[in-house]
């Protein structure tokens, strides 16, 4: 039976300083190399993952780049985001949106620290930060400390059914991350 492996990021990429990636554990490093060697095909989600895979095995002929896709029927610009804007009290303001788990690896802190820079250029901006996690209270405190909390709406967890409407209600979507594929 053929062995087909799909690599996304955490399973192959590694950052030794932050201990990101399973390969920073020696026993997994050995397993990953062995699996790649025996795989009949390796699907990678990005060029970064492809390059890292090639460092571990010289298997050019069995690597296939297939970027992550999106359901264009569900996530499309023809949806109406006005209900989300109305619910959040946003009218004509420029909306910058992100939805991430509030964890160190996603770098939400850096987005919040950038808000004063954005406000120097324009003050008709609202930042919607969706998601929950260990650092949410810290991020909320940081926004208060920087004096930008009136420009930020922390929504908490957003139901999956509502996510497409948040995206379309936004002018810019930011996907902060310290490590991604």
Flag whether 19 is in a domain: yes
> Residues 87, 155: one domain?
yes
Residues 106, 56: one domain?
no
Asked whether residue 61 falls in the same domain as residue 104, the answer is no
- Spatial separation of the C-alpha atoms in residues 90 and 153, rounded to whole Å: 10
113 and 55 in one domain? no
Greatest Cα pair distance in the chain: 60
Cβ within 8 Å of residue 120, ≥6 positions away: none
The confidence score (pLDDT) of residue 153 equals 98
**CA neighbours closer than 13 Å in the CB half-sphere of residue 139:** 29
* Residue 26 in domain: yes
Apex 47 CA angle, 13 and 61, nearest 5: 100
pLDDT value at 81 more than 60: yes
How long is the chain?
181
Cβ-based neighbour number of residue 146 at 10 Å: 15
Neighbouring residues of 14: CB distance < 8 A, sequence distance ≥ 6: 20, 21, 23, 24, 52
Hunting for tokens 């850096």 — which residue is that?
A: 110
- What pLDDT sits at residue 180? 64
Task: State the pLDDT at residue 171.
Answer: 97
Nearest-angstrom CA–CA distance, 163 and 76: 11
Beta strands 94-99 and 172-173, pairing class: parallel
- Token readout for 167 is 């995206």
- Average pLDDT over the chain reads 92
pLDDT digit string, tens, across residues 6-61: 998 878 888 777 777 778 788 888 899 899 999 999 999 889 899 999 998 888 89
- Work out the percent of the chain whose per-residue pLDDT is above 90: 72
Q: Is residue 47 part of a domain?
A: yes
The three-class DSSP label of residue 111 is helix
Residues 59 and 87 placed together within one structural domain of the fold? no
| Residues 164, 109 share a domain | yes
pLDDT band at 139 (very low <50, low <70, confident <90, very high): very high
CA distance 52 to 56: 7
For the chain, the domain total comes to: 2
Q: What percent of the chain has pLDDT over 70?
A: 98
Range of the domain at 87: 82-173
CATH code of 133's domain: 3.40.50.2000
């Amino acid at each position: 039976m053929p062995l087909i492996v799909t690599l996304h990021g955490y399973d192959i990429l590694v950052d030794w300083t932050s201990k990101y990636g399973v390969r920073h554990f020696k026993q997994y490093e050995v397993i990953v190399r062995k699996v790649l060697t025996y795989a009949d095909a390796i699907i990678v989600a990005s060029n970064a993952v492809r390059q890292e895979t090639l460092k571990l095995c010289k298997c050019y002929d069995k690597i296939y780049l297939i970027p992550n896709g999106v359901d264009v029927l569900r996530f499309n610009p023809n949806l109406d985001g006005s209900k989300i804007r109305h619910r959040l009290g946003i009218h004509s303001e420029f909306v910058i949106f992100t939805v991430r788990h509030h964890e160190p690896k996603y770098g939400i802190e850096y987005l919040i620290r950038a808000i004063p820079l954005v406000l120097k250029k324009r003050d008709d901006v609202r930042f919607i930060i969706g998601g929950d996690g260990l650092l949410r209270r810290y991020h909320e405190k940081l926004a208060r400390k920087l004096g930008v909390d009136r420009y930020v709406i922390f929504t908490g967890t957003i139901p999956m059914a509502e996510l497409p409407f948040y995206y379309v209600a936004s002018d810019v979507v930011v996907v902060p991350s310290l490590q991604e594929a």
